[in-house]
Each structure stands twice: as C-alpha cells, then as structure tokens.
Structure 1
C-alpha cells in the first residue's frame, strides 16, 4: 500500500462540518443540520456520522446520505487494540454501512468503547493506557481497519477524567501514527480537558506531535463539574468552548499542511447558540487559505 504521504494527497478537502449520532437530532432544541446546510452551506460542508452498528443510521443521517452530501464514518463501537473486536458480524455490518454512506474516510475515538463483550450494557468510552504497548495494539487495529475496508482510518484522542500510563497523550498518538503510518484526528476539546486534568499548559506536547499527520480537527464545548472538591470537565458538546480549546485550535490551524476537515461538535444545541462558534471556525479556515495563497504568490 502507498505511504501516508501519498495517500493523504488523495483525500478530499471537506472544510468545515458538523457531527451527529443516532438520535441526536431528536433531542430538545437540537440543531437542524439540513436547515443549517441550506442557510449556511459553508458551516455544513460535510456530516461526521457517529455509528454503532447495532443502531445504524437514523433518519437525519439517512436523509443527508440520500442527498449525496459528503460524510465521514466515525466509529463508536470498536476497541482498536482488541483483535477479537474484528469479528465477522461487525465487519460485515461496517462494510454495509460504509458502502451505503461512501464516506471520505473513517475515524473515531481510539480508546475503549466497551468493557468485555461488545453489547449494550458494556458500552462506554475510556482513554487508552498511555503506554508503548497499547500504542502498538492501536496501530495494529488501525492497519487492520484500513486494509479491510479500504478507507483511511484516523484515530482520535478521546476524552477522559483519569489517565493511566507513562506517556503524554500526544506522544502516545504520535507513536500510533508512526507505527500505523496513518493520519490523525486531533480533538482540541479533548486535549484541553487532558491538559487541565494533568496540570499542563494548553500547548504542552504539541511540539512533539507530527503535525503533517493531522488531517482533521474537532472543536466542542465542555462543562465543569465538581465532586468531593475535585473539578472535572464533561465533554458534552455545548456551545461554551473552553479558552484552552481555542488556544490549541488557533495554534494548530496555520501549522497543519494536510488539514482537510474541521468539525464543530454542537449537534444538540439550537442554531442561534452555535453560530458564533461556526463563524470563528470559518474565519480561521479562511485566514489559513488566504495565508497559503499569499505564500504561494511570493
């Protein structure tokens, strides 16, 4: 197979997009993503569809796919470092859904989506053990998915409240990217939560991340909570984006040569509450394009 350097050139530039998962559009005051595309096409260039194969696509995602609008496939049900997760029924279901969607690529939080067998009562999302051994396991899963389905697979740094292991989370995913020869989805909100939880500054560790591997960025809001005197941040996709998330995003955008997509995860909020976030993201991407064009003209 061609190297990532060659493969990334063939990936489409999707621009700014939105996310959904089964049932999200049915939430009270949820964002009407088709209406968003009609009114603000630049904010809804593609739809990242979160998928658990036992649920499939809801009506909102089905409508989007029927229009032939761009999508990405965001898995919600596979532990990449567990070979037994790649069982024939799951593989067949993923192939059928992807065949229907024709996504630009596959991606997803590369952590633990379930504990024990894959079934409803065991579903959760935990970060991986941040060790070299776990990075090797994840890399093997990325390669397995890429070779099985024929799509680029972008592992994402997941959210969490407790992190185990001896690696910084960015060093962990740098190892995964190198071992799997893959691109990355970097979630700026998840990273901001990690940095706060671990007591780091927002940009800690980014100097060691292979920036040419970052293909997609996520931005989302999060909410602080307190329990027994301990403050933690919930990745709940509100419009209230942490200042550290914006610091990370603004630092990254002009430095990513292979950035193809940005998602504002805000699917359960009414349009008027999220427009400012979309505007800020769109402006950053426009400035990036203008700076790139100016550089080419010099």
Structure 2
C-alpha cells in the first residue's frame, strides 16, 4: 500500500510511516533539483516511485531528450523501481497543451507509441508504466481504449498503471460498462493501481449534458473500491496507492482510514501479495 506524496500531507505521512509502504512522487516537481534534500529525507523511510506528467508518450513528435534525461536523473536519485506517465500527449509541434489529451487510437499509432515506450525504458534503465487518463472528448478511433492500451503494452512489453477513478469517470461520461472495460484489459500487466475520489462539486457542465470531472479531491469512492475488489479477484496486485491532489483533510486520519480500508478490500479479495 502506497500514497501519493503531497507537501500538504508531509507531516501526516511521516507520523504514519509504519502504515505506508511506499510513496509516489511527482517527477516534474524535481526535474531541476533531483538532489533535493526532501527526497533524501523521504528515502530514509519509504521506497519512492516516480510518476510524471509531461512525457507526452502519445505524441507523434520525437521524444524530448532533455526532459527524458531530467526524468532519468530523478529516477536515479531516488532509485525508483519503476517510472510512470500518462498515455496521452501534452504537447505537439512545439505547442504545450497543459492538458492530458487523448490520442487517436489506431494500430499505426499504437506501434509508434510502443516504440517510444521502448526507447523510454531503455533510457531510464527501469520499467515504464503507462496510465489510462480521464478525458472529456473521445475522438473517433479505429480501436477501443482497452484495445489500444493492450496493443501498446504487447508491442512494447511495458506494464500499466491502472487508475480506477479515471475508469469510473470515463464510464459515467461516455456511457460504457467499467467492468467490461476491465475485462478487456490484460490485467496481468497491471503493475500499479491508483485509487482516488471526486467531490460532488466536480461537475463540468450543469444539466442533462453535465459531465463528471476527474478532480482527485475527495475520499476514494465506493465504485472505485468495488472495481479494486474486481481486479484483485483476478490478478495479484504488486502495488496499490491512494492519490489525493487537492482538498486535503485537516486530519490525516481520514487518509489512514482509507489505507486500512484498501488493505481490507485486498485481503478479502485474495489479491494482495
């Protein structure tokens, strides 16, 4: 069981270190300072995993070698067992989008992304996991999202960071069955899981056309815990963590309770190892 490191949770994390197995750091916060003393302090108590935002692995442009070198420096500094980023693009032709943008899902693009993933893994010298994103526009594509994710993983040999909150948000917004979505994935390739929740205020548009937004700003939802149990019934899960990005509770006990609840779900499902 792990937790996404956020500075707002720092004191609570250290006070509850016995109940947290590892931490996920946001790589991009340390690209210019991989030797930050904070990372060394955290390494004294936790395994650190590096999770990035701007690899833009789904782009058609050449890999940003400068960015990749900076990510590698952070991963090396914390001896990360793996590195992850989102299967999307965040920039194209020199334009920064400041958004995790979905790709056009075609067999040709899956092959291109897989080649980029292989190059990233070779440069990092450690496994690279691709994460499913939440999205509000689903461009017409030749492949479903599970088909595209599967193709990228099979052609590159990489693993997956499965964000179950993103699955629930997309299922609600685009009208698909989240369990069928999971059934269509090679779950044996899941190397890490994100759990999160959204406050009721997370609505993009009001009325019948309203869309749920992915905010990661609330307790883990019951629908997310149900999906976790479903996955854990089918495969062993090496690493599961809770991700809270905003609206942090004043009492860290709320986070600690979620960690305990997650362990209970995994134990009941027989999927923990």
- Could you tell me which residue of structure 2 aligns to residue 225 of structure 1? 203
Unaligned runs of 5+ in 1: 1-15, 294-298
- Describe the shift of the 1:292–1:217 C-alpha distance in structure 2 as closer, same or farther (beyond 3 A): closer
Matches of 2:178 and 2:272 in 1, distance apart? 25
8 Å Cα contact 1:116-1:122 kept in structure 2: no
8 Å Cα contact 2:27-2:74 kept in structure 1: no
Equivalenced residue count is 264
Q: Deviations over 1:198-242 (max 9, x none)?
A: 111221222221121111111101243142532222222223333
8 Å Cα contact 2:52-2:84 kept in structure 1: yes
> Structure 1 length as normaliser, TM-score?
0.79
- Aligned partner of 2:239 among 256, 261, 264: 261
Structure 1 residue 160 corresponds to structure 2 residue 135: yes
- Could you tell me which residue of structure 1 aligns to residue 55 of structure 2? 78
Q: Deviations over 1:105-139 (max 9, x none)?
A: 01111111234427xx6432122223323322221
- Describe the shift of the 1:226–1:92 C-alpha distance in structure 2 as closer, same or farther (beyond 3 A): closer
Matches of 1:130 and 1:196 in 2, distance apart? 20
- Describe the shift of the 1:226–1:75 C-alpha distance in structure 2 as closer, same or farther (beyond 3 A): closer
**Structure 1 runs (4+) greater than 6 angstroms displaced:** none
Matches of 1:256 and 1:75 in 2, distance apart? 25
Structure 1 residue 246 corresponds to structure 2 residue 225: yes
Unaligned runs of 5+ in 2: none
Query: Deviation of residue 54 (structure 1)?
Result: 4.7
Matches of 2:197 and 2:73 in 1, distance apart? 33
- Aligned partner of 2:182 among 194, 202, 206: 206
Deviates more, 1:223-232 or 1:183-192: 223-232
Matches of 1:237 and 1:45 in 2, distance apart? 21
Query: Deviation of residue 194 (structure 1)?
Result: 1.2
8 Å Cα contact 2:197-2:220 kept in structure 1: yes
Structure 1 residue 125 corresponds to structure 2 residue 109: no
8 Å Cα contact 2:225-2:265 kept in structure 1: no
- Aligned partner of 1:237 among 213, 216, 241: 216
Classify the secondary structure of the residue corresponding to 1:227.
Answer: coil
- Aligned partner of 1:273 among 254, 263, 272: 254
**C-alpha RMSD of matched pairs (Å):** 2.6
Matches of 1:104 and 1:279 in 2, distance apart? 24
- Describe the shift of the 1:255–1:56 C-alpha distance in structure 2 as closer, same or farther (beyond 3 A): farther
8 Å Cα contact 2:229-2:266 kept in structure 1: no
Structure 1 residue 197 corresponds to structure 2 residue 173: yes
